């Protein structure tokens, strides 16, 4: 059983989480209309369309092939790139409903590209299909994805258990920034030794087990199912960097809770992503919104 993190409805972020849950993509044209079913537009496209319905054991290539394709604005084979920072709202009531979380990107209502835009959401949907996760969100860099995940899952005075062999930027984040700024400590272990991992986890204090599916640069392959089993048994969330093996391994299908990629590497592109359970990803959105990492 994977650990989940539901949003507290009394949280000061409850409205933001509600808005985040509605910010999903459709092919419908943008409208200033504010009354469902009265304006003549077909709103049958549900927000679940962002979330692939792939089964956990489905082949990644088949999942990608089955993902909904988004065409260009003028009929292009590929989706148009949305370069706007802000989006037009024609009616004050529409704006009110957008900020209240009643209207979102599931109906083509966008506010800022800092939150969401059609291009980035489409990329996230494809990555979620690849990984077999509930959803995926794109960030401006790999370190933005990694730092956002860790800073939301781990709090002041808590601990991360991480692989000794990590990308240099991740290692620097764990050894320099998080201890100094957030009072978050990291215990580095050889993740090929599962017993060492088990002994390094401090129940109640360790919140995340972090490692790479195929390590950078040593290419050591992690036993994701066994490491996930050990971590979950002790109440720890598993975060896996899958940059080196996107079409070979699917960490979420093997037990990981959250998967991060630097897709400017193997996959090749201009952004980076976080994929995982929907309720976890909504938590990450708070930090992404505030620190402009999308």
Q: Which active-site residues does the annotation give?
A: 114, 167, 241, 265
Q: Which residues of 61-70 are buried (b: 16+ CB within 10 A; e: fewer)?
A: eebbeebeeb
Phi, psi angle pair for 232, to nearest 5°: -65, -35
Distance CA 165, CA 112 (A): 37
Integer Cα distance of 280 and 276 in angstroms: 7
Q: Could you tell me whether strands 258-262 and 159-163 are parallel, antiparallel, or unpaired per DSSP bridges?
A: unpaired
């Amino acid at each position: 059983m994977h650990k989940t993190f539901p949003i507290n409805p009394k949280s000061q972020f409850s409205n933001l989480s509600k808005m985040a849950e509605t910010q999903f993509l459709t092919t419908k044209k943008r409208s200033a209309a504010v009354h469902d079913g009265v304006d003549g537009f077909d709103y049958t496209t549900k927000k679940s369309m962002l979330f692939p319905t792939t089964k956990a054991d489905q082949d990644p290539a088949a999942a990608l092939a089955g993902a909904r394709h988004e065409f260009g604005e003028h009929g292009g084979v590929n989706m148009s790139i949305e370069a706007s920072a802000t989006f037009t709202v024609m009616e004050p009531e529409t704006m009110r409903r957008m900020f209240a979380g009643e209207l979102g990107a599931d109906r083509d209502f966008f506010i800022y590209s800092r939150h969401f835009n059609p291009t980035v959401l489409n990329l996230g949907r494809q990555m979620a299909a690849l990984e077999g996760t509930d959803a995926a969100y794109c960030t401006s860099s790999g370190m933005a994805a990694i730092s956002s995940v860790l800073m939301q899952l781990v709090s002041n005075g808590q601990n991360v258990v991480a692989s000794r062999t990590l990308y240099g930027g991740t290692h620097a984040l764990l050894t320099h920034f998080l201890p100094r700024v957030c009072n978050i400590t990291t215990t580095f272990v050889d993740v090929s030794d599962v017993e060492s991992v088990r002994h390094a986890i401090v129940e109640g204090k360790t919140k995340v087990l972090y490692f790479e599916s195929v390590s950078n640069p040593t290419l050591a392959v992690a036993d994701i199912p066994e490491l996930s089993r050990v971590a979950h048994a002790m109440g720890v969330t598993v975060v896996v960097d899958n940059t080196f093996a996107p079409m070979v391994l699917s960490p979420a299908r093997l037990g990981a809770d959250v998967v991060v990629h630097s897709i400017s590497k193997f996959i090749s592109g201009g952004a980076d992503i976080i994929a995982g359970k929907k309720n976890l990803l909504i938590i990450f959105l708070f930090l992404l919104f505030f620190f402009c990492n999308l």
